[in-house]
Structure 1
Amino acid sequence: MLKTINKSSVLIMFFIVTFLFISCDKKRIFDEYLPISNQKWSKHNTLQFAFTATDTLQKHNLFINVRNNKDYPFSNLFIIAQMSFPDGNVITDTLEYDMADGAGRFLGEGTLDIKDNKLFYKEKIIFPAKGTYTFKVRQSMRKNGNVDGIEELDGLTHVGFRIEKTE
């Protein structure tokens, strides 16, 4: 009987904490993660996120979220990001982000084994039209002196895309 009460209490507490966590995130408009198969991001694996913009007046911040583990072998990350608009226009950006500090310690939040990195993509943008937008991202890492990209980038567990309202 005591184990049942404890399990029930833990379950209820879990739902309360989850509800509070979700309800406190009032800036979030869109937030989705995709897993990286075998924690190896292939240069041929373009991740895609689709979202519907309904507000053409509010400014938004856009983020690329990356989870890495201790097997990530670099201090930076190069990615190609592409935003497609409802009217067919496409913006493509080549981006570089720091993943570790000068001493080699991974940046981001989390445990020693997994780090969450919330990387700015676009700041204070206004969506020009209502409709469906598509965001695509792929890794573009290369070894020094090598023209061909790295086939599989180790140590990344998830990549996400997040949209927040600005204040």
Structure 2
Amino acid sequence: MKSKKLFLFGLILAFISCNDKKIFSEYKTDFKANQWQKNDVKSFDITIDDESKNYDLTFILSHVFDYQFDKVPVTISIKNPKGETEIMNIDLILKDSAGKDKGDCLGDICDLKQTFKKNVNLIKGNYVISVAHTFNNSYLPNISSLGLEVTLSE
């Protein structure tokens, strides 16, 4: 009986690990009073071990439900293992054209996932990905966390 349980556990573990495409996930939750200060650059250190695959890079922004802004302008900096830096200016789109939250909302918090690099080949090594908001105020209100996920492209 014990061997059957171990076999079943091993089978479940193998199934879960084979279907998991996420290779990196980290969240920053140190937003005092739910304010993302303009000078508070959030950085993520990731390591790519397999350069034969392509990856998707996705930011996750957690904010209050029915956010007062439709979009959040951010600057993304990607420093690759060669020391080269790519700078991107994008908008995190929080609401659709009808004014409805685009994120997954549960209670008062919505989690917006927005892919900013899709199906990109990354060379093997360490990367530093940094993000700062370029909102016109000294802080961005009602932010509870910011995350980065790196997944294998489909």
TM-score by shorter chain over 0.5 = yes
1:139 matches 2:139: no
- Name the aligned partner's letter for residue 150 of structure 2: I
1:152 matches 2:147: no
Does the CA contact (< 8 Å) of 2:78 and 2:85 recur in 1? yes
1:60 matches 2:47: no
Does the CA contact (< 8 Å) of 1:73 and 1:155 recur in 2? no
RMSD between aligned residues: 1.8
1:73 matches 2:88: no
Q: Distance in 2 between matches of 1:71 and 1:156?
A: 12
Does the CA contact (< 8 Å) of 2:66 and 2:101 recur in 1? no
Of 24, 33, 41, which residue of structure 2 is paired with 1:46? 41
- Name the aligned partner's letter for residue 84 of structure 1: K
Cα gap change, 1:48/1:82 in structure 2, threshold over 3 Å: closer, same or farther? Answer: same
Does the CA contact (< 8 Å) of 2:56 and 2:151 recur in 1? yes
Deviation at 1:112, TM superposition (A): 4.2
1:162 match:
149
Does the CA contact (< 8 Å) of 1:79 and 1:139 recur in 2? yes
**TM-score where L is the length of structure 1:** 0.77
**In proportion to residue count, which structure has more strand?**
2
Deviation at 1:153, TM superposition (A): 0.6
Of 31, 36, 44, which residue of structure 1 is paired with 2:25? 31
Runs of 5+ in structure 2 lacking a partner?
Answer: 1-11
Instruction: Report % sequence identity.
Output: 24
- Name the aligned partner's letter for residue 79 of structure 2: S
2:3 match:
none
1:147 match:
none
Does the CA contact (< 8 Å) of 2:65 and 2:105 recur in 1? no
Deviation at 1:121, TM superposition (A): 1.0
Does the CA contact (< 8 Å) of 1:72 and 1:156 recur in 2? no
Q: Distance in 2 between matches of 1:152 and 1:122?
A: 26
Runs of 5+ in structure 1 lacking a partner?
Answer: 1-18, 143-149
